[in-house]
C-alpha cells in the first residue's frame, strides 16, 4: 500500500503503525497532496503548528462547506453531509451563526455547572463500578468505558436509561461504519443508518420538549430564539445527535486508551497510585496519547498558503490529530507516555471556535473513573487481544479484555 492508500483506508488505523507514517510525513511532506477514491484529492496536514492555525481561522478554513467528516470515497461523501446535518449541527456551522448556536447548548458544560455536577458524576460512575465483579474478567471497553460517558451525557441531556443500549448501537454504526463488527451493508450504508436512527430519536426529543421549562440542552435548543426565530426541528435534532455522539463516543476512547497506556507503563501506574491527585494532569495525557479524534476535514474558502504550499479555494484539507500530538517541535519525548507532562499543548480537543465544548466534562469523567478503578482494584492485567476500531475519524479501542483483582483480595 502506498501512503495515500493508507491514509484513505480506515482499516489502516486499526492495525497499521500510523504514528510511524505520520513521523515520516511531518519530516518529508508535512502538507501532502493525497489522491482519494472520489478523484478529488485533498491536502493532508501533519504538523501541530499548521493544524493549530487552520483550526483558528474558520473564515479561511470552513467546517460548513462540506462538513468535517473525513469522507473521501464517493459513497461516503454522499451520506456524510446529510448524516451530520452540515450547516445545521454546531460542529459544521461557520461564524457568525456558530457562536449563538453553541451558546444555547453550553450552560451545563461551563466550569460553574461542572463543579456542581461532580458529585453526581461520582455517583453515576460508582453505580457502574458496582455492576462489575469484585474480581474477574471483563472487557474494559464494553463493560466500563462505554457506560461511563453514556450515563453522564444522558443525565445532562435528560435521556432515559432504557434507551442507552439502542443509542450505543446506533452510535457504533454512525462512527464505526467501516468496521466489519458494526456493519449493516456497506460502510456508507451503515453510517447513514446509524445517524438516521439517532436523528429520528433527536426529532422525537425535540417534539416532546417544545414549550417545556427544563434547562437541559435539548430543551434549550427546542425553545431557543436565534436572530429572532426558533431553530428548525432538523437543527435541534442534528445538534442533539452531536451532543449524544460527542458525549459518549470520544471519552470512552480516552479513558480506555489511558488505562491501556498505564498497563503498558507500570512506572506511570505506580506514580498514579502513589498520588491520585496526579489525575488532573494525567487526564490531559490520556487524551494526547489516545487521540480519540483521528482526523477532521476543512475546506479552503479562498486561495491561501500553508508553509510554502499554495492551497486553492475549494480544496479540502484533512487534519491528522495523532500526528500533531506527537510533533517533536512541540512535545519533548513525544513517544513517552508521561502523566506529569506539563504544559501539555495537545490538540486532542481541537482549538479555535469549535474547541471541544465537552472537554472539561470529559476530563472530570476520566479522573473520577480512574480514581474509582484505582481505589477498587489492586491489580489489572490484560488477558487477551487488544483491538482497535477500524476508523480514521473517531477511533480507539474496541476491546480491552482484562482481569480485575479487588483490593482486599490482593491484600
Ligand atoms: C476525550 C473526549 C473528547 C474528545 C477527544 C473530543 C474532541 C473534540 C474535538 C477535536 C472537537 C473539535 C471539532 C472541530 O474543530 O471540528 C470537538 C468538538 C465538540 N465536542 Fe468534543 N471531544 C470529547 C468529549 C466531548 C464531550 C464529553 C462532549 C459533550 C457533549 C463533547 C462535545 C463537543 C461538541 C458539542 C463539539 C462541537 C463544538 C463546536 O463546534 O463549537 N465532546 N470535540
Dihedral (Cα; 184, 185, 188, 189), 10-degree rounding: -70
Q: Which atom of ligand 1 is nearest to the CA of 244?
A: 30
Please report, for residues 238, 335, 344, 408, the alpha-carbon distance to residue 154 in angstroms, rounded to integers and kept in the order given.
Answer: 16, 35, 30, 33
Count CB atoms within 10 A of the CB of residue 6. 17
DSSP for residue 144:
I
Q: CB of 231 closer than 6 A to ligand 1?
A: no
Cα separation of 104 and 306, whole Å? 34
Q: Which atom of ligand 1 is nearest to the CA of 363?
A: 1
Q: Where are the domains of the chain?
A: 3-34+41-145+250-410
Helix (H) or strand (E) holding 382, with range, is strand 377-382
pTM above 0.95, yes or no: yes
Q: What is the CATH architecture assignment of 3-34+41-145+250-410?
A: Orthogonal Bundle (1.10)
Q: CB of 254 closer than 6 A to ligand 1?
A: yes
Pocket test for ligand 1, best of 89, 296, 359, 360 (most atoms within 8 A of CB): 359
- pLDDT, position 409: 53
Which residue has the CA at smallest separation from atom 39 of ligand 1?
354
Arithmetic mean of pLDDT over the chain:
96
Exposure letters 262-279 (e unless 16+ CB within 10 A, then b): bbebeebbebbeeeeebb
Grid cell, residue 405, equals: 483483582
Q: Which atom of ligand 1 is nearest to the CA of 243?
A: 30
Structure confidence by residue, pLDDT tens digits, 285-337: 999 999 999 999 999 999 999 999 999 999 999 999 999 999 999 999 999 99
Q: CB of 69 closer than 6 A to ligand 1?
A: no
Cis? peptide before 175, omega within 30° of 0: no
- 293 has which bridge partners? 394
Q: Which atom of ligand 1 is nearest to the CA of 239?
A: 35
Structure confidence by residue, pLDDT tens digits, 29-84: 999 999 999 999 999 999 999 999 999 999 999 999 999 999 999 999 889 989 99
411 pLDDT above the threshold of 50: no
- pLDDT, position 162: 97
DSSP for residue 338:
-
Count CB atoms within 10 A of the CB of residue 343. 9
Amino acid at each position: 500500500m502506498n501512503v495515500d492508500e493508507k491514509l484513505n483506508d480506515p482499516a489502516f488505523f486499526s492495525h497499521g503503525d500510523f504514528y510511524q507514517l505520520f513521523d515520516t510525513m511531518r519530516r518529508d511532506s508535512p502538507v501532502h497532496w493525497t489522491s482519494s477514491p472520489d478523484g478529488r484529492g485533498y491536502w493532508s496536514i501533519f504538523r501541530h503548528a499548521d493544524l493549530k492555525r487552520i483550526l483558528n481561522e474558520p473564515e479561511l478554513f470552513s467546517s460548513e462547506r462540506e462538513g468535517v467528516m473525513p469522507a473521501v470515497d464517493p459513497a461516503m461523501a454522499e451520506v456524510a453531509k446529510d448524516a451530520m446535518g452540515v450547516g445545521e449541527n454546531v460542529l459544521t456551522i461557520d461564524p457568525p451563526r456558530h457562536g449563538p448556536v453553541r451558546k444555547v447548548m453550553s450552560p451545563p458544560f461551563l466550569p460553574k455547572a461542572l463543579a456542581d455536577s461532580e458529585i453526581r458524576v461520582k455517583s453515576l460512575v460508582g453505580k457502574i463500578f458496582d455492576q462489575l465483579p469484585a474480581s474477574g474478567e471483563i472487557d474494559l471497553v464494553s463493560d466500563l468505558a462505554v457506560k461511563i460517558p453514556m450515563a453522564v451525557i444522558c443525565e445532562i441531556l435528560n435521556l432515559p436509561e432504557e434507551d442507552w443500549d439502542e443509542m450505543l448501537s446506533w452510535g457504533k454504526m454512525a462512527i464505526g461504519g467501516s468496521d466489519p463488527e458494526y456493519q449493516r451493508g456497506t460502510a456508507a450504508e451503515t453510517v447513514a443508518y446509524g445517524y438516521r436512527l439517532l436523528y429520528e430519536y433527536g426529532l422525537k426529543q425535540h417534539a416532546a420538549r417544545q414549550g417545556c421549562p427544563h434547562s437541559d440542552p435539548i430543551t434549550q435548543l427546542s425553545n431557543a430564539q436565534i436572530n429572532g426565530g426558533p431553530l428548525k426541528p432538523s437543527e435541534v435534532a442534528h445538534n442533539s445527535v452531536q451532543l449524544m455522539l460527542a458525549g459518549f463516543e470520544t471519552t470512552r476512547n480516552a479513558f480506555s486508551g489511558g488505562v491501556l497506556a498505564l498497563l503498558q507503563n507500570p512506572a506511570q501506574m505506580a506514580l498514579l497510585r502513589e498520588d491520585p491527585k496526579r489525575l488532573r494532569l494525567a487526564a490531559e495525557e490520556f487524551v494526547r496519547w489516545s487521540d480519540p479524534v483521528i482526523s477532521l476535514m476543512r475546506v479552503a474558502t479562498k486561495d491561501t498558503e500553508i508553509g510554502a504550499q499554495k492551497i486553492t479555494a475549494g480544496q479540502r484539507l484533512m487534519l491528522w490529530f495523532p500526528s500533531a500530538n506527537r510533533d517533536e517541535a512541540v512535545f519533548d519525548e513525544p513517544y513517552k507516555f508521561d502523566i506529569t507532562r506539563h504544559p501539555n499543548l495537545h490538540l486532542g480537543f481541537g482549538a479555535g471556535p469549535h474547541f471541544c465544548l465537552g472537554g472539561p466534562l470529559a476530563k472530570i469523567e476520566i479522573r473520577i473513573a480512574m480514581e474509582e478503578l484505582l481505589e477498587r482494584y489492586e491489580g489489572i492485567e490484560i488477558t487477551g487481544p487488544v483491538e482497535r476500531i477500524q476508523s480514521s475519524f473517531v477511533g480507539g479501542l474496541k476491546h480491552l479484555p482484562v482481569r480485575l483483582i479487588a483490593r482486599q483480595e490482593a491484600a
